[in-house]
Amino acid sequence: MDYLLKVVALLVTAFAIVIHLLTRAKKSCPANLPPGSLGLPVIGQTLGILRAMHVNSVDHWFGDRIGRYGPVSKFSLFGKPTVLLAGPAANKLMFFSSLLPPYVPLFSQRILGEKNILSLYGDDHRRIRGALMEFLKPDMLKLYVNRIDAEVRHHLEENWAGRTTVTVLPLMKRLTFNIISALVFGLEASAVRDAFAHDVGCMLAGMIAIPVNLPFTTFRRSLKASQRARRLLEGIMREKKAEQGDSPNKNLISHLLSMRDEHGEQVLTHEEIVDNSLIPMIAGHDTASTLMTFMIRHLANDPATLATMAQEHEEIARNKADGEPLTWVDLSNMKFTWRVAQETLRIVPVVVASFKIALDDIEFGGYRIPKGWQVLWTASATHMDPSIFPEPAKFDPSRFENLSSTTPPCSFVGFGGGPRICPGMEFAKVQVLVTMHYLVRHFTWKLSCKENTFTRNPVPSPRHGLPIQLQHKSTL
């Protein structure tokens, strides 16, 4: 198989070189483009960046480029001319310019649905985002703490208690999947939920697969899974509509169905509700589970940070009766734990880079970014810049005590920034804090895998899913 892949790569490269030689004389280069080469047609720098993702050296890949060409450079990715922008000023442009909405390729839209929030901009984006935020705002999250607390405890009792070894990443994925299923779709444990979990996995796999819609391809499986997931959600929506008096706070679908404008009309169409109910699962399930996995990975080898965290959680537990669930106020006292989460995200950003598309020509840093080009931002350019975060490789949660007074705006971008900043940040925070509370109070752990490395596809994924050895401190 490896041999076959090498032959295909060789043929594609040879074909690209021929096209390049035939066409280069005719090309006229628009003026004032950023420095850098677009490389070979079709391939550009795609193979280099994919390899860097795989061996987890993508930070160096970006760093080398920025070192060579400066904070604005051009290259070519997935057959499209692309500009890499780096630094706080570039991040500000990326997050605040209305000329740079996210770039969602058509093949991803086929999986996510045309009306998904990531593919929209302008008024449509604001309307959908406003509706999602109504469900994800702190006043609403307060109502879910109890439910999330119950899900976390149930998960730990079922999957961690009494075990001497566990594999963290798949368990964290199961936990965040169950939490989102309950809160977003009102789906409790059942065969239907298991089938839905399988379909969500296929959809995610299709987002990073070669987009060829032929039998037996990952992409074809992903499209089929998306159709099944959509049918399931349409069914849930019909049920919720029929349930007279269903509380709009019960789950996201009931909430979106209940929203009315000033004329009493439903704010979102059925297609918009289906597409955007799926988004929290796609954008929120792998991200939050990955962050928790990497916190567990780090804490295994940082006893000082773990001890400070454990102390924070013991103090909170001291004021509670046995078995009493956590409250919103308890979460607000977990400041150190959230700094540990932020520092983990700084060093290992779950979203390391993301694409925008230039809707018009844009001037930046003395260069022109032509209309229609892809623009890429990368979190590591600022997260690992020693002039912004001194000794960037050192794990130091205290950096986040007073971040806004010590770093320029848009330096820490683990959740993005501007009007498209992650709307699920506070929801992710509740999940992380509740889970960490029970983990550090009841368990200690050691990494069982000697090879403590990770790959990116594109979210970071520890080798072998992070197996650990567990010791129980106290019963749950």
User: Which of 60, 80, 127, 129 is in the footprint of ligand HEM by CB under 6 A?
Assistant: 129
Q: Are 316 and 333 in contact, with CB atoms under 8 Å apart?
A: yes
CA distance 82 to 358: 10
CA angle, residues 465, 444, 162, in degrees to nearest 5: 80
Shortest reach from residue 208's CB to ligand HEM, in Å: 15
**Distances from the Cα of 69 to the Cα of 36, 74, 221, angstroms:** 7, 9, 41
Nearer to ligand HEM, 175 or 291 (CB): 291
Could you tell me the two tokens for 419? 């009007």
* Contact letters for ligand HEM, residues 303-342 (x by CB under 6 A): ----------------------------------------
Shortest reach from residue 228's CB to ligand HEM, in Å: 21
- CA neighbours closer than 13 Å in the CB half-sphere of residue 253: 29
Nearer to ligand HEM, 43 or 434 (CB): 434
Shortest reach from residue 285's CB to ligand HEM, in Å: 7
Shortest reach from residue 460's CB to ligand HEM, in Å: 11
What residues numbered 130-169 form the site for ligand HEM, per CB under 6 A?
Answer: 136
User: Which of 53, 117, 439, 466 is in the footprint of ligand HEM by CB under 6 A?
Assistant: 117
Count the helices and strands in the chain (H runs, E runs).
Answer: 18, 11
Cβ-closest position to ligand HEM: 424
Map tokens 């901009």 to a residue: 121
Q: Map residue 470 onto helix, strand or coil.
A: strand
* Contact letters for ligand HEM, residues 412-431 (x by CB under 6 A): --xxx---x-xxx--xx---
User: Which of 33, 49, 52, 118 is in the footprint of ligand HEM by CB under 6 A?
Assistant: 118
Nearer to ligand HEM, 434 or 470 (CB): 434
**Distances from the Cα of 81 to the Cα of 36, 38, 48, 112, 432, angstroms:** 11, 7, 15, 24, 38
Q: Please give the size of the binding site for ligand HEM, defined by CB under 6 A.
A: 25
Of 293, 118, 106, 278, the residue nearest 203 (C-alpha): 278
Q: Map residue 28 onto helix, strand or coil.
A: coil
The residue length of the chain stands at: 476
422 is in an annotated binding site: yes
- Name the strand (E) or helix (H) holding 175: helix 168-180
Beta bridge partners of 73: 84
Stretch that binds ligand HEM, among 67-75, 217-225, 345-353, 368-376 (CB under 6 A): 345-353
Beta bridge partners of 355: 376
Q: Hey, CA dihedral for 359, 94, 278, 351, is it positive or negative?
A: positive
Sheet bearing 72-77, strands edge to edge:
72-77, 80-85, 374-378, 353-357
Nearer to ligand HEM, 240 or 420 (CB): 420
Beta strands in 28-147 (DSSP E): 72-77, 80-85
What residues numbered 351-410 form the site for ligand HEM, per CB under 6 A?
Answer: 351, 354
Shortest reach from residue 347's CB to ligand HEM, in Å: 13
Shortest reach from residue 182's CB to ligand HEM, in Å: 13
Shortest reach from residue 227's CB to ligand HEM, in Å: 21
Q: Hey, CA dihedral for 9, 21, 362, 127, is it positive or negative?
A: negative
Q: Are 327 and 145 in contact, with CB atoms under 8 Å apart?
A: yes
Nearer to ligand HEM, 102 or 458 (CB): 102
Shortest reach from residue 461's CB to ligand HEM, in Å: 14
Q: Integer distance in angstroms from the first to the last C-alpha of the chain?
A: 48
Classify strands 374-378 and 353-357 as parallel, antiparallel or unpaired. Answer: antiparallel
Map tokens 């596809």 to a residue: 457
User: Which of 83, 229, 295, 350 is in the footprint of ligand HEM by CB under 6 A?
Assistant: 350
48 binds ligand HEM (CB under 6 A): no
Nearer to ligand HEM, 209 or 422 (CB): 422
Shortest reach from residue 43's CB to ligand HEM, in Å: 25
52 binds ligand HEM (CB under 6 A): no
* Contact letters for ligand HEM, residues 76-105 (x by CB under 6 A): --------------------------x---
Q: Would you tell me the crossing angle of helices 58-69 and 46-54 to the nearest 10 degrees? A: 140
What residues numbered 234-293 form the site for ligand HEM, per CB under 6 A?
Answer: 279-280, 283-284, 287-288, 291
Q: Are 149 and 443 in contact, with CB atoms under 8 Å apart?
A: no
Shortest reach from residue 297's CB to ligand HEM, in Å: 15
Q: Which residues bind ligand HEM (CB under 6 A)?
A: 102, 117-118, 129, 136, 279-280, 283-284, 287-288, 291, 345, 350-351, 354, 414-416, 420, 422-424, 427-428
Binding residues: 422
User: Which residues are documented as binding site for heme?
Assistant: 422
